[in-house]
Amino acid sequence: MGNWHTKYEKDLKNGIDNWIDDPSFENDVKSLFNQWNREDSSPPSSLSVNDWNKVPAKNWRIDMLVTWLALSAYRAYDQVYNNFGNGYTYNEPSVKDLTKKATAICMLALYGVGDRDLMTAVCCVQFDIRDCKVKRIGRRWLIVEEKKRRAMANFSGQKHEAKRGLEIIKHYKMNKQCYMGWPNVSMVYYTVDDKAPTGSFSGEDCITFNPNKLKVKRISHRVPNPPSRPFYVYTWKIVEGRRELFDFGSREDEAWQSLATIKKYGFTHQCFVGRPRPSMTYFRR
């Protein structure tokens, strides 16, 4: 609670609410990102207090990007606010400048991670579409990659859904299956040569969304337990306006990574085989 953190963060939040839709703010953030979206020939393994004047780069380690931002914030604390020796004052240009840098650093980190396909919560498996078949094992109908003896999707007792799922995979020429949050999967998607499936399939069951309007939001749910003393449970969801699209429960990191994945591939549709309890889901443009 020292150093006016509560007051500063309240003013910061109010500022962000006003800046987020300002085109000049967005353009300044993009300008920073474009300056930093480069390869550093000698990326740092450590930073000292005066290294705030270094220029970040996309091949810096994440901890170095965060440390650089912290050094920039400390410089403002020291030089702009004089260590709050005279009490708290709100310096909007300084707060706005740091917010631009923080946003551009986040973009750089996400871009670098996505560019290297190192999202830690994602497990992807390449498969040979020619080797995929519908197969019955016990009472379950599965899509399997036969030579590798790998089950790709489980359709329980629904043979017709399994056959349709295979038709969809072959129609789009999918060849990679990815799981967000493996082994506790929160999102499944397929790619075609590391690109989004495109087009459409006759009779497919899809919901549409605008990836540019999606946001991650924490949603609270009032739970009466006991009825006289209700408490709240929080879940993380990807929303489009007031429409709640994807639910990640308590896994905030997977919600953000899923949003980054949707935007990376430009997905505009989530499609299902079998509802209300789909046996297979996939995304396409």
**Does residue 118 carry a pLDDT above 80?**
no
Say yes or no: 90 and 9 in one domain. yes
What is the token pair recorded at 76?
A: 């403002």
Tell me the mean pLDDT in the region 165-185.
91
Tell me the mean pLDDT in the region 73-95.
88
Bridge partner residues of 247 (DSSP) = 237
Say yes or no: 243 and 182 in one domain. yes
Tell me the mean pLDDT in the region 112-127.
63
Say yes or no: 133 and 272 in one domain. yes
Say yes or no: 32 and 133 in one domain. no
CA 169, 144, 154: angle at the middle one, nearest 5?
Answer: 85
Closest CA relative to residue 166, chosen from 150, 148, 191, 145:
145
Q: Give yes or no for a cis peptide into 226 (omega within 30° of 0).
A: yes
pLDDT tens for 28-80 read: 999 999 999 988 888 898 999 899 999 999 889 888 999 999 999 999 988 98
| Phi/psi at 67 (5° precision) | -65, -40
Say yes or no: 237 and 178 in one domain. yes
Percentage of the chain beyond pLDDT 90 is 59
Say yes or no: 75 and 146 in one domain. no
Say yes or no: 158 and 239 in one domain. yes
Range of the domain at 226: 122-284
**Does residue 137 carry a pLDDT above 70?**
yes
Say yes or no: 162 and 102 in one domain. no
Q: Give yes or no for a cis peptide into 183 (omega within 30° of 0).
A: yes
Which among 116, 150, 182 is the end of a domain? Answer: 116
Highest mean pLDDT among 35-39, 117-121, 262-266 belongs to 262-266
Rounded CA separation 265/196 (Å): 6
What is the token pair recorded at 5?
A: 């953190």
Sign of torsion, CA 60 64 65 69?
negative
Lowest model confidence (mean pLDDT) among 13-22, 102-111, 224-233, 268-277? 224-233
